[in-house]
Chains A and B, each alone.
Chain A
Amino acid sequence: MLENYFPVLLFIIVGLAIGVIPLLLGWILAPNRPDDAKLSPYECGFEAFEDARMKFDVRYYLVAILFILFDLEIAFLFPWAIVLQEIGMFGFVSMMVFLSILVVGFIYEWKKGALEWE
């Protein structure tokens, strides 16, 4: 069972190597003549006038929280989906109850305007 995952691990390592090797090659082969202007952050030709790690919109944070909630919901749906034909009507109704509770939450955040971007 678990030995099936050995090629997967190997593939991940090969994938990392395919990313790292060209980077190293580029680092060896390419010229390297840094100067101040070249290394400064790009801001359409102007000098950078404040730190780039600035305040950002709280809506990104909201989206992240909603994503965590819904991803958890999907994590609950996966095992249910796979065995639905075995658990039949009872399993179906139970999941509908769970979904309807989440839908109430979804409607609440929609009405609250958490999904608005203007």
Chain B
Amino acid sequence: MEAQVLHFFQWFWDLFGLWNVVWSFVEPVWPLIWNLMKIVAIVAPLMIGVAYLTYAERKILAYMQVRVGPNRVGYYGLLQPIADGIKLLFKELIVPIRSNKLLFAFAPVMVLAPALAAWAVVPFADGMVLANINAGLLFILAMTSIGVYGVIIAGWSSNSKYAFLGAMRSAAQMVSYELPMGFALVCVLLAAQSMNLTDIVMGQQSNAGMLGWYFVPLFPMFIVYLISGVAETNRAPFDMAEGESEIVAGFHVEYSGMGFALFFLGEYANMILIAGLTSLFFLGGWLNPFHGWMLVGALTEWVPGIVWLLGKMFFVLFLFLWFRATFPRYRYDQLMRLGWKVLIPLTLVWVVVVAAWMQTPYWLWTPASVQG
């Protein structure tokens, strides 16, 4: 891939007979340029995805409530997210009088940047990853935890009572649901015997197709991860932090214009990230669900891996929207009870079960890298 791109540039500049001159300048910084190109190739579709996820949410929610949703701006309302973006760009940025200005401005960046940066280690197919680092899962956990700082800083620096309350609630909630999430991931690590995300997906490959994926032996953990993911991104039914009807909009009540837009983007970028991670950890990433299933398997072998991955992500994102349309909001005490008294004991037990199961000959998921 890199060689082809270089070749294209050489061809292009040779039209003007300038290739040697250009290359003498570019050569020392070529790795930087090449990496930046790859990053843009990840971030640009991601930002478009974030914009159209807001559209998909309004549209799907509308159809579930038997109405049409946005359909005025562009065909089928397809330009709605762009219109929203431009509108927010021209809205006044209000900085409350007694707030801490610098922190107030930086908080939304703190929410959005880690949600994007986590994609650095996410593989889209075998070998199709920006940085194939061995501590990939640890990096993702670290990045997703930083979002909590953004929320707390936003709530505290606004110097407003509702924002402060929302930030306290939201921080306690995100922190509480990070624990079951971490325990669920320990189960995935037990099965995969590696922190490298590519290895985790490849550990799910077998001739059983989707029956070999980790959501089969770790089914309760798959559910826990999904629930924690919803709570972690402050989505309904766990959207206490925003709670429009009780604490108006929680930690971002004082934000307007682009600051508000960034929180919005951050929330949806986080949703897409959680959807991607759920697909990688539990739903076999880019693997064909019918691999090894006689006729169906043979007929679907031509589909590229990234299509399967995107399909699984769409499925998880649809679940997110479906939950929002279906469930009423939890009360705060119920939320904390679910986190600490149901999910944490459940995950703790399942860690022990999986570890004990692995000591017996009945464990079927030993990855090829360990068998040898």
- On whether the beta carbons of A110 and B97 are closer than 8 Å, the reply is no
- On whether the beta carbons of A18 and B112 are closer than 8 Å, the reply is yes
B89 within 8 A of partner (CB): yes
Mark B118-138 against chain A: 1 for CB-CB distance below 8 A, else 0. Answer: 011100000000111100001
- On whether the beta carbons of A10 and B168 are closer than 8 Å, the reply is no
Bound state CA distance, A85 and B352, in angstroms? 14
How many chain-B residues does the 8 Å CB contact rule pick out? 88
Classify the interface of chain B: helix, strand, loop or mixed: helix
B52 within 8 A of partner (CB): no
Bound state CA distance, A69 and B253, in angstroms? 32
Mark A76-103 against chain B: 1 for CB-CB distance below 8 A, else 0. Answer: 0110011111101100100110010001
Bound state CA distance, A18 and B39, in angstroms? 12
**Interface residue stretch chosen among B185-193, B205-213, B289-297, B302-310:** B185-193
CB distance from A9 to the nearest CB of B (A): 9
- On whether the beta carbons of B175 and A54 are closer than 8 Å, the reply is no
Mark B29-41 against chain A: 1 for CB-CB distance below 8 A, else 0. Answer: 0011001101110
Inter-chain contacts of A63 with B (CB < 8 A): 172, 175-176, 336
For the complex of A and B, the 4 pairs showing the least CB-CB separation, nearest first, are A26-B258, A19-B109, A41-B160, A117-B333
From A23, A39, A74, give the contact of B94 (CB < 8 A).
A39
CB distance from A5 to the nearest CB of B (A): 6
* 19 A-B pairs with C-beta separation under 8 A: A8-B130, A14-B43, A15-B112, A15-B116, A22-B89, A30-B92, A31-B90, A31-B92, A41-B161, A41-B163, A41-B254, A42-B160, A42-B253, A43-B160, A52-B163, A63-B172, A71-B182, A84-B358, A106-B344
A38 within 8 A of partner (CB): yes
A44 within 8 A of partner (CB): yes
Bound state CA distance, A16 and B332, in angstroms? 32
Q: A30-B90, A44-B248, A115-B341 are in contact. List 5 more A-B contacts (CB 8 A).
A: A8-B121, A27-B93, A52-B158, A53-B156, A115-B337
Bound state CA distance, A7 and B87, in angstroms? 34
A67 within 8 A of partner (CB): yes
Bound state CA distance, A74 and B253, in angstroms? 34
Given contacts A11-B116, A18-B43, A64-B175, contact A4 B109 (CB under 8 A): no
Inter-chain contacts of A95 with B (CB < 8 A): 355
- On whether the beta carbons of A14 and B93 are closer than 8 Å, the reply is no
A89 closest partner in B (C-beta): B359
Given contacts A70-B344, A84-B190, A110-B341, contact A23 B105 (CB under 8 A): yes
B221 within 8 A of partner (CB): no
From B105, B248, B352, give the contact of A42 (CB < 8 A).
B248
- On whether the beta carbons of A92 and B355 are closer than 8 Å, the reply is yes
- On whether the beta carbons of A41 and B96 are closer than 8 Å, the reply is yes
> Using a CB-CB cutoff of 8 Å, which residues 207-231 of chain B contact chain A?
none
- On whether the beta carbons of A67 and B89 are closer than 8 Å, the reply is no
Mark A27-46 against chain B: 1 for CB-CB distance below 8 A, else 0. Answer: 10111111010111111100
Given contacts A48-B161, A67-B179, A74-B183, contact A5 B172 (CB under 8 A): no
B325 within 8 A of partner (CB): no
Bound state CA distance, A28 and B322, in angstroms? 38
